[in-house]
Amino acid sequence: MKSGKYNYSVTVPSFAKAKELNGMSWHSLVFYSFLYGHTKKKQTNGMWINIPSTKFQKLYGKYYRKHLNDLLKRKWIEENSSYKNDEDGFTKSFRLSKKTYDKKQKKFSVCLQKRIYEKFVKTSKDKSDLSTEYTRFLKKRHDNLIILNARSIKSKQLQTKLDLKIANVTIGENKRAYSTIISYKKTARKDVMYGDRGCLVNVDVSGMVQQILNKNIQNEKWNEWIRNDFATCLQKELRLKANRSTIKKQFMVALSDGEQSENSLKIRNYLTEEFPSIMFYVGMLKEKGTIQMVTQQMEADLIRSFITKHQHLNVLPAHDGLFCGEKDAEKVDAALERFLKEQGLIGATKITYYNPKSRPLTLIELLS
């Protein structure tokens, strides 16, 4: 990122080459992105969109006309020159051209100065809830996250947020801590550094819902399934035709009172027959609210308790796990496993290295 500038993602036609885009002004690219977004959001179906010149001047400067002309010359947009200055008048209007309307689009990143960036980004100010000691603590930790080398559009967007210290730390109704790093996809996290602790890592609680449900029952088969990946065990046992991610969702549907699919009903019937004590406990939990809400609150309580008890460990909440730096991953993993066992869970955990280069080498790799 250039010094003093921030990355802003715009939508551009997919046929535009990088050389062409780099030669265009940010004014043109941002306006086209606005027009495209407005067209799709409002479902104008290619109709004219009225935009007053005062708005152009405010957003794009007094020489906005040359940037519009550039788009017109490239035939990315069209202009309806008809307008009326009277009290009952109307402004000039614009629309996507036949060349770009309903064509494939792609994302492109432009660098904007902070004062310009803030004109177009409503979330350019940090909206963290700092009303509690816990959220203030998380905000301070979150401000340690940085990106030095953004290698994708999403990473560049996240880099801007982190550079501006936009943590957006809040606590949801489900007691989970939400923040900027959680709202971005895993692909963007591979470029994130946890200060001087190395690349960002996720220390995750394996099958946390399943561990919580078996806390007071301690069914050994259930625990064995957690150790061997619960969703995979369900898939093999019931011969379910779905991938692991889908089965995890279907498992939660099976525990709920909502409408059941063929697979979720099959899972529910099997669990009721094979693990009656656990399903009885599920019924008790549902008296407090939906099973999803109640279990998420229980997860959040555990994660918050761990962070509060282990303030010497540099970690952040990641819903059913923790974020930390690669240098601390093994230590955090061991501490989390020990803590979970103290709480009556089996303590199954796993480490996800977003950046493959930050993963420790295996013995075989070391020997070779």
Q: Would you give per-residue pLDDT tens digits along the chain (368 residues)? A: 555 688 899 999 999 999 999 999 999 999 999 999 888 876 665 688 888 888 899 899 889 999 999 999 999 999 987 776 656 557 888 999 999 998 999 999 999 988 888 888 876 789 999 999 999 999 999 999 999 988 888 898 899 999 999 999 999 999 999 999 999 988 999 999 999 999 999 999 999 999 999 999 999 999 999 999 999 999 999 999 899 999 999 999 999 998 999 999 999 999 999 999 999 999 999 999 999 999 999 999 999 999 999 999 999 999 999 999 999 999 999 999 999 999 999 999 999 999 988 888 776 766 76
Q: Is 196 exposed, middle or buried (0-12, 13-18, 19+ CB in 10 A)?
A: exposed
- CA end-to-end span of the chain: 37
Question: Would you say 214 and 208 are in contact if contact means Cβ atoms under 8 Å apart?
Answer: no
For residue 144, which amino acid is it?
A: N
Q: Give the CATH number of domain 5-120.
A: 1.10.10
Q: Whole-prediction pTM value?
A: 0.78
Q: Any idea where the domains of the chain sit in the sequence? A: 5-120, 133-207+295-358
CB count, 10 Å around CB of 336?
A: 25
At residue 246, the pLDDT reads 94
